[in-house]
Each structure stands twice: as structure tokens, then as C-alpha cells.
Structure 1
Amino acid sequence: MSAPSRHGVSSRDSRDPIGYAVAAMNKLAQSDLLDRLGIRRQTEKAVFTVTRSGFRTATTAGRAFARAGRRGRAGTRPGAPRSRGVFDLTPTEDEQMLVDVVTELATEVVRPAAADADAACATPDEVLRAGNEIGLPILGVPEALGGLSEERTAMAGTLVAEALAKGDLGIAVAALAPGSVATALSLWGTDEQQATYLPAFTGDEPPAAALALTEPAVLFDALEPGTTATRIDDGYVLDGVKSLVPRGADAELFVVGARLDTGANALFLVEAGADGLSVEADPSMGVRAASLTKVVLDGVRVDEGALLGADDGTTYAECVRLSRLAWCALAVGTGQAVLDYVTPYVKEREAFGEPVAHRQSVAFMVADIAIELQAMRLLTYKAAGRVGAGKDARREIGLARELCASKGMKIGLDGVQLLGGHGFVKEHPVERWYRDLRAIGVMEGGVLV
């Protein structure tokens, strides 16, 4: 029986949804992960080639997803959040605890591994396991389905993405990609889909999984995908190419966006072992630690139960928006990393007998970074707050996306400029952050909150 709390109710009943996340993530403090992973080491994972010809392989499922649950029955959804009745972007006490734990992971584990992961185009398995141990794959999964939340936790996901990206954006994408698929299943999956796939994510060894929306097309618009889903008697046939898919070579499950015969867009669950599905290397300018790949769908057949959510385009559009919100959070975290790095640098670096920070042009540039970063953060938090409250956030997400894409790139560029010649070499991480920030306006999918 649960012990009574100071309010006279059980601790289980009084704990808010973020409290469940904090309870799970506090396992980090009781483990030796930080001691084992707090040093830089070369990844032992197979290294991706850095050429576009790269590898190309037909994927095979690492595990069998046994069909379970009731077909046609609606799935379990996260509960509606309790309104505080005021507009307040300040994180709650529990949300701040969550940020503190993830920040420790980003500082002690992610940041030391970032340079090697970027060079190898792969995040070390130990770093990914550290993220799994603190509950990243199930942060957006309802407690009733084995996850950590009772209510919609868009703000929690936003704060986690920001905190991880302060360590490294590429590793953050790699660590958050499986949880994004689990969150999609929680938001839109049927009872059968949730019972079939979510137990793997809530188990001891969550599978790699990816949300595939981006395509290799000039002026690609996520709301106008070229990938098609042709209706057949017993399901659909998918044809098309998805690019910049994180951890595609290891993924056991994909959520693929495609256009139906009706002209509406929809999402489909595609297992890695499907005939006609293959993966090839797709190394990019930035976000390299996420092991980006190209997923080719050549006549891939899926049954009717593979359709995730509605077939009228509403689920697909919501998925695109939630993905863009996640990328905004990643931009804020990486931008903060730039600001935290350049501020002491310009104070310590001397030119002509004085710190370069004494030059107005330098001081104003650092101030601009701080101003733009705060604007990005406030817009992103406001959008996340509206999503979590179940309100229409299309306008807020659109504004945040536009600002984070343009100002995020400017923050990266200014960071390189402030370091001068040091900004151009890999001895300092700012050149990597600049390359990563340029992805904000290009990449779709991969992560969502």
C-alpha cells in the first residue's frame, strides 16, 4: 500500500506526470554510468563511410513483433493535462528536476563523446544505453502502457531535447529517435498497434526506430511528400525514398510518411524486415552522430493495420508540426551551447593587449546571440505549452520554426566568427555546432515531442 503523503493522499496519486519521469530518471544517480562514460573514447560501433556511395543493405528485423491487441479498437491516449489557469512558461519544480538530470547526462556523457561520434557518424552504444536507462524512449508513453506519463508531456519532451542538445545535437537526435516513434504510437496508435510494438520500447532493450519524413527533393515540402501509398485489396504498397533518417541501418521499425491515392497524406508503420525496403548511408554536413541514412521503399507491401492514425491528412500534419517543435527545442539547446562557449572565450582571448570582449563589435555580437536565443526559447516554450494543453498550436509552431531556423543558423555563424581562426578548426566544438544548426531549417521528422 502506498505511503500517505503530506497532503493526506497516496504518493502515487499525488505525483504529477513529470514526477514519474523524474522517479525513473533518478536511476541515473544510482548507477555507475557517469563514472564509466565520463571520458572520451573512440566508438567501437561500425563506422559509417563518409561517401554517398557508402553502404547499401537490405534490412532484416532484429526481433519479431508478434501481433497483439484488438484490431479496430482505439488505443490508449495520454490524459489531458490539468490547467494551472495562468500563462506561465517557468518550468515546474519537477520539470526542473528532469532538466537537471538530463543536463548532467549531456554534460558528463554526451559532450565528451560528441567529437568522436561526429567523426565516426555514429553514437557509441554506451551513450545510447545511458539514455535508455534514464527513460528517454518512454518519456511520451502513458503509464498505462508501461511509460512514464499520465498526461500529455510536450513541455517535458521539449525540455529534454533542449538539455540533450546542449551536449550535442547529433547524439540528441540519435537518442531521441526511438522515443519519437513510441510517442507517435501513443498519440495515434490503435490498441493492436500499441500492444504489438510498445512492449519492445518499454522493455530492457528498446529497439532503434525512426520517423521518416524528409525526402531528397529540391525545395522539399514535408506537406507534399513524393512517397506514395497505393491502395490494394489487403493493404498498401509504398514506393519512394526517405532521406536523413536517423539510425536507419539499425532501426527495426519505421514510421513513414506517404501520399494516398485520395491525395491525403498518412503515416505507416513499416518493419525493417519488409521486402523491398533497403537502407544506404546518407552522411550529411551536420547531425552526423545520428547515423543518417536513406531509406528506399520499392514496392513495400503493408497490411491495413500498418496505417497509423487517420487517413485524411490530419495525423500526418500533426506529426510534421510536433517534429518541427522538437527541432526548435534542439536548436535552442545547441544555441545555448554556443553562447556558453563563446562568452568566456571572448573574455579570455586577448588581442592588442586586451580581451577581445572589450571591442564593441564583439560585445554586441555576443549580446545579439543572447537576445535571439531567448526569443527562440520563449516561442518554443509557448508552442510546447499549447500542445501540452491540447490547444491549437499551428501558429506558434510555425513562428518558432521560422525563428529557430533563421536565428539558429545565425547563432552558429556568429559563434564561428567570434572564435576567428579557432572557429574554423575542430579543436573547438563551435564549427560542429554551426554545421548542426544549419539542419534546423532542412530536416523534417526524425524526432518529435
Structure 2
Amino acid sequence: MSNWTEMAREIAENVLFPVADSVDADGEIPDSHFETLAADGFYGLAAPGDEGVSPSVLVDVIETLCGGCLATAFTWMQHHGVVAGLADSPNTALQGRYLDGLIDGTVRAGVALAGAIPVPPTLWARSVDDGYVLDGVSPFVTGWGIVDLLQVSARDEFDDSIVHVIIPAQPLRGLTAEELPLIAARGSNTVRLTFDGLAVPRDLVSAVVSAEDFAKSQLFGSWINGCMAMGITRRAISELEALGVDADP
């Protein structure tokens, strides 16, 4: 059995942290960071069954990697929501097309879910004969230009359900990206996506869930997001100790 936390610590110390300053200064994450994570199996942590890990181990890994390089870890961690979502998808054809590549890291993914969260939402889905048409905005989409796929979440304009679709992470007819200036994690390539009649065929719909179930799923996501701050805090404390500064109040 792999010791994922120890493996993450080795990557954080030997690969990520030595160049973390330049990643933030230059606004670009070396692709070798993601290649290393993929080679060691870190893209499959949210996979079902024996391929995945427990939530507590995932928390430890995320904290550790965030303490190495926030931009890298923040971009990488979006991937797990897509793996978990597609693993539970009733769309078996879509699973067969992408899931294995997502688990081994040869396909990288991100999420665009913030447009479906507020009430009223900022991103709507309109059902049509052959799928859905998306209109609106999804803010704070991480990994643009880095990932291959996006799981986009939008709220159905008629029944308030949440529609999850998988689309290529690239400019499309009806989809434009605006880069957002960030104080930290600049290399994460975080953008605002604007949807103007983006047509998504039904075979790219991974799931349609109730608003209540979607809200419940966000509780775990919020817990995971808190790991980022903990990872940065742990790194700050260790750096203070290395400098001989008393970190105790």
C-alpha cells in the first residue's frame, strides 16, 4: 500500500517548493510538476474502489502539496472533482471515453461550478432536443490552458436542477475566457468563462442532479478547500522554525 502522504511530502520538498517563488513570479507552472504527480499516481486519488484513497488521506496530501506550491496544488486538486463525478455518472459511454485517462493523468481536468452555486445562478442551462444550451458566466475557473477538459455545472432554467457537462477546455463557439489577475497562485491560469449560447450535445452530459444534492456535495468541497490554507500555514511555521524564529505566541 502506498504511503501517499510521505510521497506527497517528497514531491513538495524536492520538486515543488524549490521553484515555488519563480512560479508565482513568472505566472507559469512547469509541466514537469503535473507529469511528476501523474507518474506517481496522484491523479487517481478520487478514483473508486482500491484505486482511490480515504478522505482523510486526501486531506493530508492536499495540505502537503499546497505547502510545496499553491499554484500547482490548486490546479491539480480541481481534477479530483471530475474523476469522482464521472466515476458516478450514469453516462457509461462518457466514462469509457475519459475515466481511465483521468485516473492515470494522461487527461487533465478542471471544474467550472461557481456559476451554478448562487441563487439566482450566473450560468443557466436550457434543455433542447439534442442536449443543452449554456448562457451566462462561470467565474474563477482554474487551469485554463493547462487542463484538457472541464466539468461545467449550470442550473436548469426550468426545474432548478444542476446539469453537469464535460467539454474541451479551449475556446469554442459560444465560449470565451478572460484571464483574472491574482495576487497569489498566478500560475494557476484562473479565468472567467462567458457562455453565449454554447451548445452541448447530450452525450457530453455527465449527470443531472437536484439542487439539494448539489448543495450537499459542496460541503465536502468546502472542507477540501480549507486544506489549502492549512498547508500554507504549516509551511510558514516550518520556515519560521528553520530561521530560528519562535513560532509560538
Instruction: Answer yes or no: same fold by TM over 0.5.
Output: yes
The 3-state SS of whatever aligns with 1:128 is helix
Describe how 1:160-239 pairs up with structure 2 within 5 A. Answer: 160-188=61-89, 190-203=91-104, 206-214=106-114, 222-224=117-119, 225-239=121-135
1:313 and 2:211 matched: yes
Whether the 8 Å CA contact 1:123–1:174 is kept in 2: the answer is no
Secondary structure of 2:67 counterpart: helix
Q: Which amino acid is the alignment partner of residue 196 of structure 2?
A: D
User: Which amino acid in the other structure matches residue 137 of structure 1?
Assistant: Y
**Number of residue equivalences:** 246
Q: 2:8 aligns with which of 102, 109, 112?
A: 102
Cα shift at 1:344 = 4.3
Q: Equivalent residue for 2:57?
A: 156
CA drift of 1:315 comes to 4.3
Which residue of the partner structure matches residue 169 of structure 2? 272
Q: For 1:314 and 1:194, how far apart are their aligned partners in 2?
A: 24
Distance 1:140 1:311 in 2: 20
Matched, 1:135 2:41: yes
1:242 aligns to 2:242 (yes or no): no
Please tell me whether residue 113 in structure 1 is matched to residue 22 in structure 2: no
How far apart, in 1, do the equivalents of 2:176 and 2:145 lie?
Answer: 9
Q: Is the CA contact (8 Å cut-off) linking 1:136 and 1:179 kept in structure 2?
A: no
C-alpha distance in structure 2 between counterparts of 1:293 and 1:367, whole Å: 38
Determine the C-alpha separation between the residues in 1 that align with 2:42 and 2:228: 15
Q: Distance in 2 between matches of 1:263 and 1:317?
A: 12
Percent identity, please.
22
Contact 2:162 2:208 in 1 (8 A): no
Question: Per the alignment, do residues 118 and 133 of structure 1 end up closer, same or farther by CA in structure 2, a change over 3 Å counting?
Answer: same
Shift in CA distance, 321/192, structure 1 to aligned 2, threshold 3 Å: farther
Residues 209, 254 of structure 1: 8 Å contact kept = yes
Closer/same/farther in 2, CA of residues 122 and 179 from structure 1, 3 Å limit: farther
User: Contact (CA 8 Å) 1:228, 1:258: kept in 2 or not?
Assistant: yes
1:301 aligns with 2:199: yes
Which runs of structure 2 are paired with 1:57-96 in the superposition (5 Å)? none
**1:123 and 2:24 correspond:** no
Q: CA deviation at 1:134?
A: 0.9
Q: Give the distance between the partners of 2:216 and 2:38, measured in 1 at CA.
A: 26
**Residues 299-351 of structure 1: per-residue CA shift (max 9 Å, x gap):** 1111234333333224422442232122111221111111112234363xxxx
For normalisation by structure 2, the TM-score amounts to 0.87
Could you tell me whether the CA contact under 8 Å between 1:110 and 1:127 is conserved in 2?
A: yes
Tell me the secondary structure at the aligned position of residue 114 of structure 2: coil
Q: Is the Cα contact below 8 Å between 2:144 and 2:191 reproduced in 1?
A: yes
CA-to-partner distance for each residue in 1:261-285, whole Å, 9 max, x for gaps?
2123332222336432222322312
CA contact (8 A) 1:248 1:294 kept: no
Q: Note the C-alpha offset of 1:104.
A: 0.7
1:189–1:165 Cα change, 3 Å: farther
Corresponding letter in the other structure for 1:268: V
| Partner deviation per Cα, 1:162-219 (whole Å, 9 max, x = no partner) | 110111222111233333322221244532221121132245x62232111235xxxx
* From 219, 222, 236, the counterpart of 1:338: 236
Secondary structure of the corresponding residue to residue 196 of structure 2:
strand
Higher CA-based Rg: 1
Asked if the contact 2:111/2:141 (under 8 Å) is kept, the reply is yes
Q: Distance in 2 between matches of 1:315 and 1:154?
A: 19
Flag the structure with more relative contact order, 1 or 2, with Cα contacts below 8 A and sequence separation at least 6.
2
Q: Partners of 1:135 and 1:222 in 2: how far apart?
A: 31
Give the Cα separation in 2 of the matches to 1:129 and 1:267: 27
Of 188, 200, 209, which aligns to 1:290?
A: 188
TM-score (norm 1): 0.51
**Structure 1 residues 309 and 318: alpha-carbon distance in aligned structure 2, compared to 1, 3 A threshold:** farther
CA pair 249-278 structure 1, distance change in 2 beyond 3 A? farther
CA distances 1:75-126 after superposition (whole Å, capped 9, x unpaired): xxxxxxxxxxxxxxxxxxxxxx221111010011010121111112221011
2:117 partner amino acid: A
2:28 maps to amino acid: A
Q: Tell me the distance in 2 between the aligned counterparts of 1:136 and 1:199.
A: 13
CA–CA distance in structure 2, aligned partners of residues 343 and 222 of structure 1? 40
Q: What secondary structure does 1:201 align onto?
A: helix
Matches within 5 A, 1:376-395: none
- Ranges in structure 2 where 5+ consecutive residues have no aligned partner: none
> Separation in 2 of the partners of 1:367 and 1:284?
31
